[in-house]
Amino acid sequence: MPSSRDVVFVDGVRTPFGRSGPKGLYAETRADDLVVRVIRELIRRNPQLPPERVDEVAIAATTQIGDQGLTIGRAAAVLAGLPKSVPGYAIDRMCAGAMTAVTTVAGGIAFGAYDVAIAGGVEHMGRHPMGEGVDPNPRFLSEKLVDPSALVMGMTAENLHDRHPEITKRRADAYAVLSQERAAKAYADGKIQPDLVPTAIRTAEKGWGLAVEDEAPRPGTTMEGLSGLKTPFRPHGNVTAGNSSGINDGATGCVVAAREVAEELGLGAKMRLVSYAFAGVDPEVMGVGPIPSTERALRLAGLGISDIGLVEINEAFAVQVLAFLDHFGIADDDPRVNQYGGAIAYGHPLASSGVRLMTQLARQFGERPDVRYGITTMCVGMGMGGTVIWENLA
């Protein structure tokens, strides 16, 4: 029986994230081609990694049909030109798909089944809206297994506001403005661009082009501008398009490896996986998911929240981030949290977002050798949370 090995995050990249819809960056670009671009870039950026040494390709998608179907990890590996000997598979844990792809291959690496793997995710929400083609079992509602609002993410966010009246719409809007400001500063300071892979796009109207930056951020967002937005999930509600992540298209990917294999091949390792945890919560308040998953991951690592120097939390909705911060006694504007801004600015192409969090954390670790531990965490549709704790190798 092999003993457990250290697992390291070597490198991560992503396509720029586009807005979904007929006018979005990727309106006429295939989802699998976005993943192919990411895999090829990882191989290009890490020439010390012989492609035949990749033992697995795990790619997540929430809606596994059309150009996101056909066991997309294997299909994308073949399309990307990896040797046919490299296997691949598809994963689905809704928003935490890419995160689960990483933790799943990491378990295989720790066990000794793999040495090196590529893990990531893709979501083309313009081609495949969340829930396309699904047929929820009527027992969910007839037997009251979940509240009817559980299947509409925006309504689950309104439910969270109900449970936490101290999280006002004004607080949520202020957090959204902060996310946009931090994202704009990160772009201005050149923190995001190094991990973006320029991606070819084509439209019948304009011909060929190149996507080189995220389409969703709205620099210059103000409290006044947000205050007038509609609350589509409830009359006089709290959740708006401004204090939520958007509907987006994009792909992410990363190389993870056994620490000694990374050293043997001369691959730079940016962070070490310390622990991870997933947890279930009531689906109608899925936004609280990161709280129990983080508590469990901390317990498994023998750490406390005070040991965590950097936090990357997916901003599905501002209220969900604020509930997490309140629980752990962290201020709304704490500089440790989402230093480069988050999904409210960049967007949230569901299954791909987990690796965006990791890539941003790795970049911050490189700038902060004084910080030892950081976390990536997110809420997950159907009532879950996921958290990974990382150690800074810088």
Mean pLDDT for 62-78 is 96
The answer, yes or no, to whether residue 1 has pLDDT greater than 60, is no
Apex CA 371: angle with CA 367 and CA 372, to 5°? Answer: 125
Percent of the chain with pLDDT over 90: 94
At residue 169, the 3 state secondary structure works out as helix
At residue 199, the 3 state secondary structure works out as strand
Residues in the chain: 394
Which residue spans within 81-132 are E strands per DSSP?
A: 88-91, 116-124
Residues 269, 256: Cα–Cα separation, whole Å: 9
> Would you say the C-alpha torsion 165, 170, 176, 181 has a positive or negative sign?
negative
Q: Per CATH, is 7-128+246-392 categorized as 3.40.50.300?
A: no
CA distances from 15 to 112, 165, 374 (A): 31, 37, 24
How many CB atoms neighbour CB 241 within 10 A?
Answer: 16
Average pLDDT for the chain: 96
The amino acid sitting at 40 is R
Q: In sequence order, what are the residues at sequence separation of 6 or more whose Cβ sits closer than 8 angstroms to the Cβ of residue 190?
A: none
Which residue spans within the chain are E strands per DSSP?
A: 7-14, 18-19, 56-60, 88-91, 116-124, 199-203, 207-211, 248-258, 271-280, 308-313, 373-380, 384-392
Question: How confident is residue 168, by pLDDT bands cut at 50, 70 and 90?
Answer: very high
| Residue 2: predicted pLDDT | 56
CA distances from 153 to 17, 98, 138, 205 (A): 20, 19, 19, 34
Domain boundaries, the chain: 7-128+246-392
β-strand pairing of 384-392 with 373-380: antiparallel
| Residue 205: predicted pLDDT | 86
The angle, 0 to 180 degrees and rounded to 10, between the axes of the packed helices 318-327 and 169-188 is: 100
Residue for token pair 């967002």: 221
| Residue 151: predicted pLDDT | 85
Residues 161, 319: Cα–Cα separation, whole Å: 7
| Residue 65: predicted pLDDT | 95
| Residue 394: predicted pLDDT | 87
| Residue 60: predicted pLDDT | 98
At residue 170, the 3 state secondary structure works out as helix
Mean pLDDT for 315-338 is 98
At residue 133, the 3 state secondary structure works out as coil
The answer, yes or no, to whether residue 206 has pLDDT greater than 90, is no
Residues 245, 379: Cα–Cα separation, whole Å: 12
- Per residue in 184-199, pLDDT (tens digit) is 999 999 999 999 999 9
The answer, yes or no, to whether residue 333 has pLDDT greater than 80, is yes
For residue 83, give the nearest of 130, 118, 34 by alpha carbon: 118
Residue for token pair 């995710």: 121
Residues 205, 28: Cα–Cα separation, whole Å: 10
Count how many Cα atoms sit within 13 Å of the Cα of residue 83 in the half-sphere of its side chain.
10
β-strand pairing of 116-124 with 56-60: parallel
Q: Which residues are catalytic?
A: 95, 348, 379
